Structure 1
């Protein structure tokens, strides 16, 4: 019994492995924090690119006097170029021309989505931000959504985690007084 007590006292005073034990306890927490920070950085980058893509698409669509489905279909390529290197799998894009009448009521003039369909009926009333309700104004509204999946954190649970949908929309006023027409929307 005395030998056992001496061994226990010797182990209690020995401090050689304390750093390794502390590191073993703290390492999983530090690793989780690092991976979480990495995931957040990637998510914010995708969010920023979604904002940039929606703005660029609305800007490019507001420049010509007339558009058609072929022109609007090229906006998928614009989004893909902005999202490099992330890819655009699952990207959903809608572009609408909105006419605000003299009574400040906004109505859809034309609309298009990435499947060459009309997502909104013509002449349907839509809500727009109050500061954009100018009499007889024409707006281009670009809506972009893209799913973002976590890359590494808890990869064994990734099948149970649904992707985060990042969505941005952007309004852009027509550069000239006349409204933009879409010949085949």
Structure 2
């Protein structure tokens, strides 16, 4: 005759197994630091690489602003700008943006004539890694710099920033600035060959 054995409920079995395992693993602290490090590492890497990428972007943006204002300032200090002068001015921009890649730098320096009715047209335009404006083409100026019967020099600089690592910031960013100045030594800045 077969007697039926009373089966232990599953909870009771788990409790019996859990006690010795729980004591043994609960008391063992040797892997806690490794687990904590593994949990914190992605956050630390994100913060580090994000700071590096943001720092580079801010540095390049500051350099773009410096290039923009310096080039405009150089041009407005002359009565006339020759081809050699313009070449030297644009080469100065390459030096200013270093150690970053100067092939990503796009510059447009434009002389703008504003007639007595307030219509602004391009008197001359030069560019580096970009297309210059066509002579006598209309150009839109902000209202606060447009003054009837005057002349302006404007410089527009763009830098296509692509993060080196691309861990936090992905894609490319157009870091740009534009600057307007009036000539200092004459009524307008001439470009004899343009």
Q: Distance in 2 between matches of 1:47 and 1:173?
A: 24
C-alpha displacement at 1:177, in angstroms?
4.2
SS of match in other structure, 1:29 = helix
Match of 1:172 among 178, 181, 191: 181
| Residue in structure 2 matched with residue 89 of structure 1 by the alignment | 103
C-alpha displacement at 1:174, in angstroms?
0.9
C-alpha displacement at 1:162, in angstroms?
4.1
1:133 aligns with 2:146: yes
How big is each residue's C-alpha offset from its partner over 1:9-48, in whole Å with a ceiling of 9 and x where there is no partner? 3212434432331122011211111110111011011001
Q: Is the 8 A contact 2:78 2:185 kept in 1?
A: no
SS of match in other structure, 2:116 = coil
Question: RMSD of the alignment, in Å?
Answer: 2.4
C-alpha displacement at 1:4, in angstroms?
6.4
Matched length: 180
Which structure has the greater CA radius of gyration? 2
Q: Is the 8 A contact 1:102 1:136 kept in 2?
A: yes
Question: Structure 1 unaligned runs (5+)?
Answer: none
SS of match in other structure, 1:182 = coil
Question: Structure 2 unaligned runs (5+)?
Answer: 1-12
Q: Is the 8 A contact 2:152 2:182 kept in 1?
A: yes
With structure 1 as the length reference, what TM-score do the two structures score? 0.86
Q: Distance in 1 between matches of 2:182 and 2:42?
A: 51
How big is each residue's C-alpha offset from its partner over 1:108-161, in whole Å with a ceiling of 9 and x where there is no partner? 11111126x972222222111111111222111111112212112439xx9xx5
**1:156-167 to 2 correspondences below 5 Å:** 162-167=171-176
With structure 2 as the length reference, what TM-score do the two structures score? 0.82
Match of 2:75 among 50, 56, 61: 61
Q: Distance in 2 between matches of 1:3 and 1:168?
A: 70
Q: Distance in 2 between matches of 1:118 and 1:17?
A: 62
How big is each residue's C-alpha offset from its partner over 1:61-83, in whole Å with a ceiling of 9 and x where there is no partner? 11111112221121222112211
